[in-house]
Structure 1
C-alpha cells in the first residue's frame, strides 16, 4: 500500500523536490546563456525541434502505465515487471520507427536539415521510458528525496558537459551530449535508489487493466504536451529554424522558475490529492493553500522577468540574441498568467476528474496551436507570442471554472483568492517597467539595470504582499509554529 500521506510528508517531499530544482537553478542560470552565446539560433532550433518529437513519442510510449502504478494499493511485483517490459517494448518500437522515418518527420516539422538529429535522438526514448517504473515506486513510497538527489546529479553533469563541449568547439553536439548524459545518469540512479530489479515476468491482462485507467490520463497529458510544445513546431514551420532557436533559448531560460517550483510541487501533489479524495474539506484547503503559495512564489519571478526582459536578454545572452528580448518578455508574461493554474492539473488528476481534465486539455491544445499559428503566419515571432499570452488568459479563466466547480468552491471567491498574488505581481512589474523607461538612462549598464530593477521590484512586491496577503501569511506562520512544537499527537491535518 502507498505510504501514508499527511501534511508533514507532503511538506518534506515538496521541500526535497524544490531543493533539487533550486540546486540546478543556479547552474542552468549560467549554462543556458553560455550555450546561447556560443551556439547559433539555428543550432538551438534544430535540437529543440528534434527533442519535441522525442518527448512526444516518449509520452505516448509510457501510456500512463507508470502513473497508474502509483495509485495501486499494493506493490504487486508481477504487475510492476509487466509494466516495465511493456514500456520498454513500446519504447524500442517507437525508437526504431522514428529512426527509419526521421527525414519525413523532420520535413513535416519544417526542419529537414535536422533529420540526422531526429534519427540520433530517437535513442533517447528507451533511455527515458526505462526509468518510469523505478520513479513510480519512489513516488508511491513518497521517497522524493532520493529522486531529487539523482535529478540534481544528472542535470548538473549534463549541463557541465554541454558547456565544456561547446567551449571546445563541438557545436550542436554539446546539446546532444547533455541530453544523453543526463538521461543515462538519472536512469542508473533511479534503479539504484528504488532497488528495483526487472524480472522476466509478463502479464498482458494486468497491463490492460492498468491501461484502462491510464488512457484518459495519457490523453490529457498528450494534450497538455501539445499546448506547451506546439509553438515550437509552428514557429519552425512558418518562421524557420532561426526563430525557432530564439524561441527555444528564451523559453528554456524563462522556464527555469517553473522547473524549480512547479515540477517539484506537481509531482508531490498528485499522490497527495489522491489520498484526500474522500475528504472534501482537507482537499479544498490543500488546493487553496498550495495554489496561493505557488502563485506567491512564481508570479513575481515571471512578471519581473517581463519587466526586465530587455536588459536581461542583453546581459545574459549577448548582442547575438538582443533582438529577441520581446520574445523573452512575452514568454515570461504568458507563463506568469498561468501561475494560479500550477496546482490545477494534479488536483483534477488526483481527485478522479480525468475526463474533465482531458477535454479541457484538448480544447487548450487546439486553441493554443491555432492562435500561435495565426500569429506566426500573419506576422512575426513577437506576434505569435502576443497571441500565446491572450490564449493563456483564456486558459486561466477556463481551468479556474472547471477546478472550482469540481471542488465546490464559488468561482469568484476562489478565483480572486488564487489570482490575487498574480495581480499584485503584475502591478509590481508595471511599476518597474515604467521606472526603467523613465529613469533607465541614469543606469546605462544593462547588468546593473537588472540588479537595480530586481531590488526595487522585490521591495515593491514584498510591501504589496504584506498589504494583500495577511491571512495567507498568518496561516503559513501558524504552520511553521506547529512544526516546531513537540508532536504529542498528530493534528487532523496530518
Structure 2
C-alpha cells in the first residue's frame, strides 16, 4: 500500500521538496549569471536547443511508466523490475537514434552547428531515464527528504564544475560537463536512498498494464513539454542562436521562482491527490487551499521580477545582455499569469482524469506554438513574448474551467478565489513599476534599485494581502495551531 498521506506528511514532504528546489535553483540564480558573463549568447543558445531535444526524448522514452508506478496501490516488485528494463531499453534506443540522426535534428531546429552537441548529449537519456523507477519508489513512500539531499549535492557539484571549466576557457563544454555531472550523481543517489536493485525480471504483460494507465499522463506531459519548450525551438529557427541564447538566459532566471515552488509542490501533490482519488470533498478542499497558497507565494515573485526586469538584467548578466531586459520582464509576466494553475496538473493526474488533462494539454500546446511562431516570424523576440503572454491569459481561463468542472466547484467562485492573490500581486507590481519609472532615477545604481524595489514591493504586497486574504490567512493559522495542539481561531469571512 502507498505510504499513509495526511496533512503532516504532505506538509513535511512539501517542505523537503521546496528546500531542495530552493537550494538548487538558488544555486542556479548565482551560477547562470556567472556563466552568462563568461560565455556568449550563441553558446548558451546552442546548448539550450540541443538540451530541448534530449529532454523531450527522455520524457517520451519513459512512456509515463514511472508515473503509473506511483499511482499503483501495491508495490509489486515484478512490475517495478519490468518497468526498469522497459525504461532502459527505450532509453538506449532513443540515445542511438539521436546520435545517428543528430545532424537532421539540428537542421530542423535551425541550428546545424549544434549537431555535435546533440550527439554528446544523447548519452544523457539513459542517465536520466535510468533513475526514474528508483525515484517513483521514493515518491510512493513519500520520502522526498532522502531525494532532496542527493538532488542538492548533484546540482552543487555540477555548478562548481561548470564555473571552474568556464573560467579556464572550456566554453560550451562547461555547460555540458555540468549536465553530465549532475545527472550521474543524482542517479547514484536515487539508487542509494531507494535501496532498489534491478533484477532480471521482465513481464511484458505488466508493462502493458502500466502503459494503459500511463498513456494519458504521458501524452499530457508531452503536450505540456511542447508548450514550455516550443518557444526555444521557434526562436532558434526563425530569429537565430543569439536570440535563442538571450531567451534561454532570461528564461532560466524567470523560471527560478516558478520551479522552486512548483517542482517541489507538484512532486508531492501528485501522490497526495492519488491517495485522495475517491474522497471528492477532501480532494476539493486540498485543491483550493494548495492553489491559493501557491499563488500567494509565487505570484509576487513573478510580477515583482517583471517590475524589476531592467535593473535585474543589467546586474545579473552584464551589459552584453542588457538589451534583453524586456524579454526577462515579459517572460516573468507570462509565468506569473499562470500561477493559479500551479496545482492543476498534479490534481488532474492524481484524481484519475488523465484523459481530460491530455486533451486540454494538446490544445494548449498547439495554441502556444502557433502564437509564438506568429510573433517570431512576423516580428521580433519581444513580439514572440507578447504573444506568449496573451496565450497564457487564455490558458488560465481555460485550465480553470476544465479543473473546476471536473472538481464540481462552481466556476466563477473557484476562479475568483484562485486568481485573487494573483491580481493582488499584479496591483503591487504595477505600483512598483510606476514608482521606479518616476523616482528610479534618484537611486544611483541598479543594485540599489533592486533592493529598494524589493523592499517597497514586499511592503505593498503585505498590506494588500492582509486586506484581501484574511479568510485564507485565518485558515493557515488554524492549521498551524492545530498541529501545535492549540485551539484554532475562527477566520473572518
TM-score of the superposed pair, with normalisation by structure 1: 0.98
- Of 281-290 and 16-25, deviating more is 16-25
* Cα offset, 1:279, TM superposition: 1.2
Query: 1:492 — aligned with what?
Result: none
Name the structure 2 match of 1:78.
Answer: 78
Q: Which residue of 1 aligns with 2:490?
A: none
**How well do the aligned residues superpose, as a CA RMSD in angstroms?**
0.9
Q: CA deviation at 1:72?
A: 1.5
Q: 1:42 and 2:63 equivalent?
A: no
Q: Within 5 Å, give how 1:143-182 maps onto structure 2.
A: 143-182=143-182
Is it true that 1:23 corresponds to 2:59 in the alignment?
Answer: no
Give 2:283's aligned residue: 283
Aligned to 2:109: 109
SS for the counterpart of 2:343 is helix
CA distance in 2, matches of 1:289, 1:378: 42
Give the stretch that moved more between structures: 151-160 or 295-304. 151-160
Is 1:333 aligned to 2:333, yes or no?
A: yes
Equivalences for 1:292-311 in 2 at 5 Å? 292-311=292-311
1:83-104 Cα deviation digits (max 9, x unpaired): 0000000000000000000000
Q: For the residues of structure 1 that align with 2:205 and 2:400, how far apart are their CA atoms?
A: 38
Q: Name the residue aligned to 1:436.
A: 436
CA offsets per residue over residues 53-88 of structure 1, 9 Å max, x none?
000000110000111111212221111111000000
**Residue 474 (structure 2) aligns with:** 474
Superposed displacement of residue 302, structure 1 = 0.2
Which residue in the other structure is 1:194 paired with?
A: 194
Report the CA distance between 1:444 and its aligned residue: 2.5
Q: CA deviation at 1:159?
A: 1.1
Counterpart CA distance in 2 for 1:226 and 1:172 is: 25
Residue aligning to 1:490 = none
> What SS does structure 1 have at the residue aligned with 2:200?
coil
Q: Distance in 2 between matches of 1:73 and 1:410?
A: 31
SS in 1 for 2:342: helix
For 1:439 and 1:161, the matched residues in 2 are separated by 42
Provide the secondary structure at the position in 2 that maps to 1:196. Answer: coil
Partners of 2:71 and 2:350 within 8 A in 1: no
Q: Secondary structure at the match of 1:198?
A: coil
Q: Offset at 1:320?
A: 0.6
Match of 1:414 in 2: 414
How do 1:12-411 and structure 2 match up within 5 A? 12-411=12-411
Offset, 1:13: 0.3
* 1:24 Cα offset (Å): 2.2
- Give, in angstroms, the shift of residue 26 of structure 1: 2.7
Q: Distance in 1 between matches of 2:67 and 2:277?
A: 17
Distance in 2, matches of 1:163 and 1:411, equals 49
- Determine the C-alpha separation between the residues in 2 that align with 1:481 and 1:156: 36
* Rounded Cα–Cα distance in structure 2 between residues aligned with 1:417 and 1:76: 41
CA deviation after TM superposition for structure 1 residue 470, in Å:
0.3
- Once residues 349 and 73 of structure 1 are traced to their aligned partners in structure 2, the CA distance between those partners, rounded to angstroms, is 15
Equivalents in 2 of 1:473, 1:222: separation in Å? 36
CA distance in 2 between partners of 1:277 and 1:154 (Å) = 34
Deviations 1:392-439 (Å, cap 9, x if unpaired)? 000000000000011111111111101001000000000110101000
Match of 1:491 in 2: none
Q: Take 1:259 and 1:166, find their aligned partners in 2: how far apart are those partners?
A: 25
Residue 450, structure 1, aligned to residue 445, structure 2: no
SS of structure 2 residue aligned to 1:159: helix
TM-score where L is the length of structure 2: 0.98
Shift of 1:486: 8.5
Structure-2 separation of matches of 1:26 and 1:357: 31
Secondary structure of 1:36's aligned partner: helix
Q: What is the deviation of 1:222?
A: 0.1
Secondary structure at the aligned position of 1:201 is classed as coil
